Amino acid sequence: MTANPLVAIRNVSKKFPGVTALSDVSFEIRRGEIHALMGENGAGKSTLIKILCGVHKATTGSVALDGAETVFDRPQDAEKGGIRTVFQELNIVPQLSVAENISLGSLPLKSGLVDRKKMLERAADALSGLGADLPLEARAGDLPRSSQQLIEIARALMGEARLLILDEPTASLGENESRQLLNIVTGLARRGVAILYVTHRMHEVEAIADRVSVLRDGKFIETLGAPMDEAVIVERMIGRPASSLYQHSRRDPGRELLAVSGLGSATLRDVSMSVRAGEVVGVAGLLGCGKSDLARACFGLHPIQDGGIELDGEQIAKPSPAGMLERGVVYYPSDRRTEGLVLGRPLFESMTMGSHRPAQITRKGFLRTQKESELAHSIAAELDLRPMQLDRASGKFSGGNQQKAVLARGRLRLAKVHLFDEPTVGIDVGAKADVYRLIDNYADAGHGVVVISSDLTEIIGISDRVYVMREGRIAAHLAGSDITEENIARSFFTAAPA
């Protein structure tokens, strides 16, 4: 092993007009190590990644590759240096095949035409190198997100890759797919590729990372080695000792608010679920088990074929989003960017959209913009949404704050049932705590809360009762001390005892 680390980040600072995104960050990435990069949203992780892969230039400080100081003017320079990045937003052309996507930008040519045979060979090689098996000629858009991610990783590893930067690769993957991806990542590290792994998921860091560097408010805090202590990492990230995320008092559930019986659809089979006033009901399951469709069906976003939905004693024949909202049922989508926000419009518009009348911000058909703004600000303050510039475009806010904007719609009307679909995906520890606090408050106030989640720790931590789904059916129903990781995980794979 050479004395020089693969990448040495030395006193890197980055100033944007009006903001210092990074100040004086220094740490090293060694060959073949899995180096986790953690920090709350806005801590500077993305900026640092963009400097490493040549999208941004550091204002001061330097990056040394193999001991030699390097300046990347363009992403292509970083690529030549062996630094590859897979961003959270995938660059997949859905209309093209898997093989074409893997060779995107570097299609093998033979006398000016695409060399299909070589392209397929290359793709097969790249995927088998990852230990992945994908249909090479399938349309990339038809594959699940986890497969699309593998396509990106395979493409990134084309040629000589020495550092692979992964930006929250498991954010939109289920438990099983995540595990598979972590295996692939450890395999790559064993082959000598260094990995810079950005994530919000503590158990992944504990599982695979050799070291973890923590950023906070643009400053480098510390690089920690094994053994990883979750409490210490969280404390470094938020700058104060972490109180437990999952604390809630015992509750006595009241009357039944939402009753789903014998629900059948394209993806659901005979699903029954009951949600009472004043309880948090968790729904766990692997990706594709139908747990999200269950919530969507209750909200009228997923067409049902059999069975019934009863809300507070009222049979709902044909649920629709507008009708369910009117009855006090709010669904918070998992994908905030595609279903939650209007990215190009000011954030407050996304907060109040669809809620103008129930929130009484209209008078004689006209919007009371002053009241709208006051209301949006007070809810933003309550949820600790930052920055409080609600006129800024939604797309410019971080994941956690985007989520808070979507959550506002539950505060703008008289809601009694809340359906949370993956409420903390891609958001930081601080925002997570705020979301859990909100969920607890709703349950304490006698609302019925359903939380659909792929995060087992979360399900166990916040639920009073848990349904586990498998292949569109309810595989288990757990309550009290039966809610354990072991019990839930077992039901992922095997049917419940009759």
Partner 1 sequence: MQFILTTGLLPALLILMCVVFAMVEPRFVDGSNLLNVARQSVFLLLIAMGQMIVLINAQLDLSVGATVALTSVVVASVTAASSGGPESVLLGLGAGLLLGVVIGLLNGCIVAFWKVPSFMATLGSTSVLTGLALIISKGAPIIGLPMIFSDVLATSSVLGIPVPVLLGVVIAVGIGVFMSRTVPGRNMYAVGGNRAAALVAGIDVKKTVILAFVLCSVLASLAGILLTARVGSGEASLGASFVMLSIAAAVLGGTSLFGGEGVLWRVVLGVLFLGVLSNGMNLLHVSSYIQELVIGIVLIAAVAAERLKRVA
Provide the binding-site residues for partner 1, judged by CB under 8 A: 299, 301, 321-322, 324-326, 331, 333, 338-345, 349-350, 353-357, 362, 365-367, 369, 409
- Give me 315's structure tokens: 């049979």
Tokens 């990781």 label which residue?
A: 485
If the CB atoms of residues 331 and 420 are measured against partner 1, the closer one turns out to be 331
CB of residue 308 vs partner 1: minimum separation in angstroms? 22
Q: How far apart are CA 132 and CA 188, in angstroms?
A: 12
Q: How far apart are CA 13 and CA 219, in angstroms?
A: 9
If the CB atoms of residues 248 and 336 are measured against partner 1, the closer one turns out to be 336
Compute CA distances 202 → 199, 353, 455, whole Å.
8, 34, 11
Tokens 């930081």 label which residue?
A: 428
Q: How far apart are CA 453 and CA 439, in angstroms?
A: 13
If the CB atoms of residues 197 and 348 are measured against partner 1, the closer one turns out to be 348
- Give me 345's structure tokens: 């419009």
Compute CA distances 420 → 27, 126, 221, 425, whole Å.
38, 38, 33, 11
CB of residue 270 vs partner 1: minimum separation in angstroms? 26
Q: Give residue 237's identity as a one-letter amino acid code.
A: M
CB of residue 321 vs partner 1: minimum separation in angstroms? 5
Tokens 């949203």 label which residue?
A: 41
CB of residue 36 vs partner 1: minimum separation in angstroms? 32
Q: What is the CA radius of gyration of the chain?
A: 24
If the CB atoms of residues 225 and 344 are measured against partner 1, the closer one turns out to be 344
- Give me 424's structure tokens: 């903390």
CB of residue 384 vs partner 1: minimum separation in angstroms? 22
If the CB atoms of residues 216 and 302 are measured against partner 1, the closer one turns out to be 302
If the CB atoms of residues 182 and 390 are measured against partner 1, the closer one turns out to be 390
CB of residue 362 vs partner 1: minimum separation in angstroms? 6
If the CB atoms of residues 32 and 323 are measured against partner 1, the closer one turns out to be 323
Q: How far apart are CA 448 and CA 30, in angstroms?
A: 49
- Give me 276's structure tokens: 């009472």
CB of residue 383 vs partner 1: minimum separation in angstroms? 17
- Backbone dihedral region of 185: left (phi > 0), alpha (psi from -120 to 50 degrees) or beta? alpha
CB of residue 256 vs partner 1: minimum separation in angstroms? 24
CB of residue 418 vs partner 1: minimum separation in angstroms? 14
Tokens 């008078």 label which residue?
A: 363
- Give me 475's structure tokens: 């595989």
If the CB atoms of residues 369 and 441 are measured against partner 1, the closer one turns out to be 369
If the CB atoms of residues 287 and 343 are measured against partner 1, the closer one turns out to be 343
If the CB atoms of residues 191 and 396 are measured against partner 1, the closer one turns out to be 396
CB of residue 410 vs partner 1: minimum separation in angstroms? 12
Q: How far apart are CA 108 and CA 42, in angstroms?
A: 40
If the CB atoms of residues 315 and 370 are measured against partner 1, the closer one turns out to be 370
Burial profile 9-30: b = 16 or more Cβ within 10 angstroms, e = fewer: bbebbbeeeeebbbbebebbbb
Tokens 């292509």 label which residue?
A: 76
What DSSP line would sit under 88-137, residue for residue?
SS----TTSBHHHHHTTT---EETTEE-HHHHHHHHHHHHHHTT----TT
SS3 label, residue 211: strand
CB of residue 408 vs partner 1: minimum separation in angstroms? 11
Burial class from Cβ neighbours inside 10 Å (0-12, 13-18, 19+) for residue 480 reads exposed
If the CB atoms of residues 13 and 334 are measured against partner 1, the closer one turns out to be 334
Q: Give residue 45's identity as a one-letter amino acid code.
A: K
CB of residue 213 vs partner 1: minimum separation in angstroms? 34
Q: How far apart are CA 223 and CA 108, in angstroms?
A: 42
Q: How far apart are CA 429 and CA 409, in angstroms?
A: 22
